[in-house]
Structure 1
Amino acid sequence: MSSSTSTSAIGKSEQEALDTYRQMWAAFVAASKTSNWQDPQLSHFATGVALTTLARSLFADHDAGMVTIGEPVLNPHVASVDPPSAPRKVVITDCGDSSHWLRHRADNGELSDAPGGRRLINAIVEKQPDGSWRVSDFGVHDVGTC
């Protein structure tokens, strides 16, 4: 494989991983409007620990009568690719802003959360056997971590 082919394959993998990361959050935002932990869109972009984390969060909000309104602002970038020559795992670092994506009571719309803010998010996006990319794990840190 030539250097330019290798570089373009890495660039394509990085872009696909970033797109998948953004799509996972978009699916989660859509599901959080009704706290639908069974939304099938979640499994199109997340798997493993990431999918479990999303579903559990939504189930807990549903059980507590909460919904999340608004949208976060994402600013992801690729931190690393592995292996470098033919990426199958991409680590993404983000500084997400949850200032305009807050939990509310579903019954009366009352704001439940303290104001959000900028949070460090680390995510692992992995190429699946079918060639698709899915977020396999992620961690969201406290407000003020980025």
Structure 2
Amino acid sequence: MEAYVGMWGAMAEAGETSDWRSPELARYASGDALTTISGSLYADARNGVITLGRPVNDPQVVSAEPPEEPTTVLIEDCGDSSDWLRYFEDTREPVDDEPGGRRAIRAEVGVQSDGVWRVTRFAVQELGSC
């Protein structure tokens, strides 16, 4: 759970400047998850977009494998981005017409080769999906 919540916090912090190279991202995410986050922040940096505020998460573990000594955990969340929105850096005007809101999120968190739990992949559904 710490890796999952930490990933969103690191993403929010990096989003304030669209710092796609932030070392904090790799502290909580790896694999597809890290690639997705870094790519999104890179695109925002290229387009002069920043993200301000913080997401609100309410994650729940839905499975753990193997049950005896888990190395992979699946998490479901209904994340709220109402106070975590994208803005043009130079004008602070909103990028999107729609406000944030609640979205269903599924994530896989696993123990990595260095023994640290990190989010390896996640999927965020459309606005209003939870």
**Same fold, judged at TM 0.5 (above):** yes
Residue matched to 1:31 = 14
Of 61, 75, 80, which residue of structure 1 is paired with 2:58?
A: 75
Question: How many residue pairs were aligned?
Answer: 129
The alignment-based identity, stated in percent, is 49
Q: Could you tell me which of 65, 70, 78 is aligned with 1:95? A: 78
**Gaps in structure 1 of 5+ consecutive residues:** 1-17
SS in 1 for 2:33: helix
Corresponding residue SS for 1:126: strand
Q: TM-score, normalised by structure 1?
A: 0.87
Superposition deviation, residue 131 in structure 1: 1.5
- 2:129 aligned with 1:139: no
User: 2:23 aligned with 1:50, yes or no?
Assistant: no
Q: Deviations over 1:17-65 (max 9, x none)?
A: x011000111000000000100011001100000000000000111111
Matched, 1:129 2:113: yes
Q: Which moved more, 1:124-133 or 1:53-62?
A: 124-133
Supply the distance in 1 between the matched residues of 2:48 and 2:114 (Cα, whole angstroms): 37
Note if 1:111 corresponds to 2:94.
Answer: yes
TM-score calculated relative to the size of structure 2: 0.97
The one-letter code matched in structure 1 to 2:105 is I
Please list every run of 5 or more consecutive structure 2 residues that lacks an aligned counterpart in the other structure: none
2:37 counterpart SS class: helix
**For residue 48 of structure 2, what is the amino acid of its counterpart?**
G
> Quick check: which has more Rg, 1 or 2?
1
Code of the residue aligned with 1:102 in structure 2: it is L
Q: Greater share of helix residues, 1 or 2?
A: 1
